[in-house]
Amino acid sequence: MRERLLRFMAGRNGNDAFNRFLLILGLALLLLSMFLPSAVSRILYPFFLAVLIFSYYRMFSRNLYKRQAENAWYWEKRNQFVGSFRLLKERWVQRKDYRFFSCPSCRTTLRVPKGRGKIKIVCRKCGTSFVRKS
């Protein structure tokens, strides 16, 4: 039976990270539709079905190029979202030793050592210089 399943899935997309996200989203919509009032449930349940159908469509699709492009798009958006929290965590860990400033022209986050008094900070990205107290 396992060999038959492997032969069936050969050349198909299978379960990737975007599919796992869609399945978790579908499960969350299903749980919400179960515990919310019936008026809201009638709205959420079709969304759950649509997400589930799209997930299975992606899983059994033979158009690997398009599914890989969708997965790459998902990873890009996920990394943008998670990256902002990663930056906050790094700033929190380094708060005792460094001060963080935003460049006035390009908004790049710049890190300078604490306790140096007034210093001239030069942005590595755009070259703008400004004076701040560290």
CA-based torsion, 95, 98, 99, 103: positive or negative:
negative
φ/ψ (deg, to 5) at 88: -65, -40
What does pTM read for this prediction? 0.64
Query: Each residue of 91-134: pLDDT tens digit?
Result: 899 989 999 998 988 888 888 999 888 999 989 888 888 888 88
Q: Which ranges constitute the DSSP H helices of 36-118?
A: 38-60, 64-93
Domain-wise residue ranges, the chain: 2-93, 97-134
Query: Each residue of 47-59: pLDDT tens digit?
Result: 999 999 999 899 8
Write out the two tokens for 107.
């908004």
Write out the two tokens for 43.
């709205």
Q: What confidence score (pLDDT) does residue 79 get?
A: 92
